[in-house]
Structure 1
Amino acid sequence: MSMHGPLYAILGGGIVADILLWKDKKSAAAILLGSTALWFFLQVLEYHFVSLLCDTLMLFMAVGVLWCKFAGRIFNRMPSEINIQLPQSTCIYFFGTVNWFLLKFCEITSGKNFKILFVAMAGLYMLSSIGTYISSLNLLYTIILSVGTLPALYARYETQVDAIAARCIGVVKNLCKLFEVKVLDKIPRHRKLN
């Protein structure tokens, strides 16, 4: 089954969709392995983030110096000059996303739409409640793992997942009807007389 379906379009149809649907296997695996390693160091080994960041940078600096000094002797090739820069489009996208988030936050907090305000506050309350029982790092890792694997699994088993989801929706509808008949219909209501 081709992965260029509606899910590919929903995910943006570009590099992000390729990674989330595992069309770019190297990048998807690198992201999951990197996040797993970060989680392992911070959660299991109880490494502190600043220490891990500094030690990692020192390791990369040492490897870079060794590569620049000895690559020509060992591999008979001259090392290229190291130049790492983020593309300007990445920075524009990042700050555009931050600005969109701030705009939505101001829009919600203005109180013009109380339904959205209530939903946002309820969602934040649920996240806060979950946060008291689960470590933030474990929650973040679970989200990254889910985002990195679930879209690809859904694309692969789309028909089976849709069939199970349809059955679950049917069960929920039946439970709602049962609740309405057994509970809501028995509540006396005031009727207006003409």
Structure 2
Amino acid sequence: MSEVDGSERINEKIHEYRGSSSDSDDEKPLFHNSRKKWLFGRKESVHALLGGGKSADIILWRNMQLSGSIFAGVTVIWLLFVWMGYHLLTFICHFLILLLAISFLWINGASFVNRSPPKFPEVFLPEDLFLSIAQSVRYEINEALATFYYVACGKDLKKFLMVIAGLWVLSVIGSLFSFLTLIYI
């Protein structure tokens, strides 16, 4: 077999693989595998596992600008709290003071420049919302207490030892970092 025949056969195979064969346009390439193989034997993509949509796009950095903005904002907040010794209650109070001062100056300054003052919408929170949140939290706390009781009864020694080891590792990690740093990480 000559070099020309070998290269022609390779070109033919490449041409067939791309699906542009003149013999049959309906034929699929020989190497086509219709089923994707996911890492660790998953049935769906990570994007689908994270719920899809905008939140999954942000977590997977598909929207780089929004993900970067959120990351930068969280980093600034973390720096305020940890490095500068700022506390959450102090931060909330200073934010509300700033918001009230800006609103006060805006409303009172509008009359000096012959503009109408801004209209702020009235906010009413429905009682049903808070009742459903309270019920959800109550259910989760009851489930956690039931699991704790099951483990504490000692019916499953392996689970008991795993929970003890997990809590011990968590306490060691917690002693190395502040709570805000752990949340940030």
Q: Under a length normalisation based on structure 1, what TM-score does the superposition of the two structures give?
A: 0.52
Could you say which residue in structure 1 is the equivalent of 2:45? 6
Q: 1:44 to 1:24 in 2, by over 3 A?
A: same
Q: How many positions carry a matched residue from both structures?
A: 138
Structure 1 segments unaligned to the other structure (5+ residues) = 143-194
1:1-194 pair list within 5 angstroms: 6-22=45-61, 28-29=67-68, 31-70=70-109, 79-83=118-122, 94-95=133-134, 98-111=137-150, 113-142=156-185
Q: Using a 3 Å threshold, how does the CA distance of structure 1 residues 61 and 19 change in structure 2: closer, same or farther?
A: farther
Worse overlay, 46-55 or 73-82:
73-82
The RMSD of aligned alpha carbons is 3.7
> How has the CA–CA distance of structure 1 residues 6 and 26 changed in structure 2, closer, same or farther, with 3 Å as cutoff?
same
Contact 1:41/1:47, CA 8 A, preserved across alignment: yes
CA deviation map 1:97-144 (0-9, x unaligned): 5334313312211225554443333222111111112222222211xx
Aligned equivalents of 1:90, 1:59: Cα separation in 2? 29
Cα distance, 1:55–1:35 mapped onto 2, change above 3 Å: same
Determine which structure has more spread, i.e. the larger CA radius of gyration: 2
Question: Normalising by the residue count of structure 2, what TM-score does the alignment of the two structures yield?
Answer: 0.54
Q: Percent identity?
A: 29
8 Å CA contact 2:58–2:66 kept in 1: the answer is yes
Q: What are the ranges of 5 or more consecutive residues in structure 2 without an aligned counterpart?
A: 1-43
Q: As a proportion of its length, which structure holds more helix?
A: 1
